[in-house]
Amino acid sequence: MSDLLRSTLSARISKLPPLPQSEEDEDHESEEAASTIGSLPGSGMGQPAMPRRHPKPFHPPNPEYAPVSASSYFQQALQVSISTRGLDFRVYYTPPTFADGTVMICHHGAGYSGLTFACFAKEITDMTKGECGVLAIDARRHGKTTPTCDRSDEDLSIEVLVEDFTEVIRTVFPDPAGAPSILLVGHSMGGSVVTRSCPVLLERKYRVSGVAVLDIVEGSAIDALPFMNNLLNARPDGFNTIEEAIQWHVTTKAIRNAYSARISIPSIMISDPTALPPYQWRTPLRSTAPFWLSWFKGLSSNFLQARTARVLVLAGADRLDNELMIGQMQGKFQLVVVPGVGHMLQEDDPKRLAEIMVEFWRRNDRVVVGVKKVGDP
């Protein structure tokens, strides 16, 4: 997040028209900006999209960036059809091996998919020896979630995303009394979804043992909104091969873990032989502009009001907004800063994040009745 703000503020300095650029210059610019492009979407403000660049020459696929199957990271890949939502949701699931286990239910950020949590999920199940399972969902217009009828799936407003998320949970675990305890984990945009979903699930009598928000702070996000289109201008329109897409994310440090990128990136691209280039973004971020501000507005208050344990995990020393600073001083949530990672911290260092989450889960999941959890008011 702090890198994002530095990048966006520096975009205001240059007022002169750019000199003609070579292909090497464009590649260099992409590398400078892309580590934050994968971060928070903006609000539709800022410079409009740049004209399309000429397509780059085709290069043979690099086997070092060949896709890797997620079958070793989740036990199940399910399609959960929910007629009231008009969607067939893709859900990746490794259930707990114990009857009284816990399930971490994960919501990804904008433009990504449930497979962004693949390596993290494997670490969680290994560390807990199966006592804790992981379920990750592809949101509407993301990954392999598809419409089941003529209803449009274009609406990505926060209210719709929350309804989708809670309905998937209710469909997978229809009986709250018999359902495992759940721990909600949300990255970036997903952090807003899980914090708003928490009171809905508690009202339906689900046992929510905690809420974890990954690398998103309302104040910093809103400050960055006016400049996000400048960053998106450096993002390629598409790629010639899926290997090229994976390589771009790694070399630009949008994702710093090449192996994780080989698992997650194929699910955020679609193949269109009629397009140029033929591999296009599954969810073009600029197309979600009408919803950007709504994703983050009110995030801090919703997080602090969640009636469960709370943890905020940041990539680097981000500045908290005033509401979070006061909440932290009052001991309302746990704050963890992970050094050496970018915005996609669940991919960059899945083991470290798993250690944080397992410790958080063990501290808060089995609390004696009457004893406050960490983060309780």
Is the CB of residue 316 less than 8 Å from the CB of residue 337?
A: yes
Amino acid symbol at 21: Q
Could you tell me the end-to-end alpha-carbon distance of the chain, in angstroms, rounded to an integer? 27
Greatest CA separation for the chain: 67
Catalytic residue among 30, 39, 113, 188: 188
Q: Is 287 a catalytic residue?
A: no
Report in angstroms the alpha-carbon separations of 342 from 199, 254, 313, 363.
30, 7, 12, 27
Residue 243 to residue 65: CA distance in whole angstroms: 5
Residue 7 to residue 155: CA distance in whole angstroms: 29
Give the helix/strand (H/E) hosting 236: none
Catalytic residue among 107, 220, 343, 365: 343
Catalytic residue among 138, 215, 321, 349: 215
Phi, psi of 220 (to 5 degrees): -65, -40
Tokens 């690099």 label which residue?
62
Three-state DSSP at 6 gives helix
Q: Residue 277: how many CB atoms within 10 A of its CB?
A: 17
Q: Is 343 a catalytic residue?
A: yes
Q: Is 28 a catalytic residue?
A: no
290 DSSP 8-state letter:
G
Residue 196 to residue 162: CA distance in whole angstroms: 7
Contacts of 52 (CB under 8 A, 6+ apart): 237
**What are the start-end ranges of the E strands in the chain?**
76-82, 87-94, 102-107, 132-137, 146-147, 181-187, 208-214, 238-239, 269-271, 279-281, 310-315, 334-338
Alpha helical stretches, state H, 77-209: 118-127, 158-172, 189-203
By annotation, the residues acting in catalysis are: 188, 215, 343
